[in-house]
Amino acid sequence: MNRHYSVVIQWSDEDQVYLVILPEFGSDPQTHGTTYDEAIKNAQEVLELLIDTYQAEGWTLPDPATHSNTVPA
């Protein structure tokens, strides 16, 4: 099963880290990283854990958000 979930990565001046939000799973940061690459890696790990947890508990996974991208001619 291939899921395409959103990942939002934003720099936090207050925390001096990149905060990661997986919007389909809530609006609060779910992980972070001191570098952008670390934030991406951590996001992938957390997403896998969330999916595994939802499936193990028998919960319905949220629908992935989609974006229709049309390029002007």
Residue 64, in any domain of the structure: no
The predicted-structure confidence for 15-34, as pLDDT tens digits, reads as follows: 999 999 999 999 999 999 99
Please indicate, yes or no, whether the overall pTM of this predicted structure exceeds 0.85. Answer: no
Q: How far is CA 24 from CA 8, 59, 61, in A?
A: 11, 14, 9
Residue 70, in any domain of the structure: no
Residue 65, in any domain of the structure: no
The predicted-structure confidence for 34-72, as pLDDT tens digits, reads as follows: 999 999 999 999 999 999 999 999 999 999 988 776 556
Residue 63, in any domain of the structure: no
Residue 48, in any domain of the structure: yes
Q: What is the count of structural domains for the chain?
A: 1
> What is 10-56 written as a DSSP string?
EEETTTTEEEEE-GGG-SS--EEESSHHHHHHHHHHHHHHHHHHHHH
Range of the domain at 12: 8-57
Residue 21, in any domain of the structure: yes
Residue 3, in any domain of the structure: no
